[in-house]
Amino acid sequence: MDKEPLSPPKRYNRDHRFGLRFFKSIPILFPLFYPTWEWAFLFTFGIMILNAISEWLTNKIGHYPSEMYGVLLAKDYHGFWHIFVEGTFMYIAKTACLAVITFVSWLLYVAYRRNVVSSLQRRYFRNNIYYRINCVDGQGIDNP
């Protein structure tokens, strides 16, 4: 009475891989997202710079607990406050950096969406001959 469990049909068992198909689609998609050297490039470059700064801040913040232990064991009052204030400013800078990254990422999304919609509209209206021939009268007015 042992029955094999029913498996879903093959069409639902597609394997989504990061492979050659992804790299083949890059030359097709790249001109859609970056049609000209404008906002999308600027936002992408800005996000990369901000992420590098964020990683640097994370590295610096990671060293403060060990420095704090050393200062507390040495009972250095001024060293404690120096590390405390410096660490506090680093945390504030990290938080601000993450907020700016989120904002610039949203701007990049808007720029990508604008670029893709514009290119789709250009492709759609590129060969719209019917409208040019049949909807415009001889005087060039399409809504008399």
The C-alpha angle with vertex 103 and arms to 98 and 106, in degrees rounded to 5, equals: 125
Asked if the structure places residue 71 within a domain, the reply is: yes
Question: Model-level pTM greater than 0.85?
Answer: no
- Sign of the C-alpha dihedral computed for residues 133, 134, 137 and 142 taken in this order: negative
The per-residue pLDDT for 10 is 62
Asked if the structure places residue 125 within a domain, the reply is: no
Which residue from 65, 100, 102, 98 is spatially nearest to 84, judged by alpha carbons?
65
Asked if the structure places residue 143 within a domain, the reply is: no
Asked if the structure places residue 100 within a domain, the reply is: yes
Distances (CA, A) of 63 to 41, 70, 75: 34, 11, 18
In order along its 144 residues, the chain shows pLDDT tens digits of 566 666 655 666 666 667 788 888 888 888 888 888 789 999 999 999 999 999 999 999 999 988 888 998 999 899 999 999 999 999 999 999 999 999 999 999 999 999 888 888 887 777 665 555 555 555 555 555
Asked if the structure places residue 133 within a domain, the reply is: no
- If phi > 0 it is left, if psi is from -120 to 50 it is alpha, else beta; for residue 71 that is alpha
Counted domains in the chain: 1
Domain carrying residue 70: 38-111
The per-residue pLDDT for 120 is 82
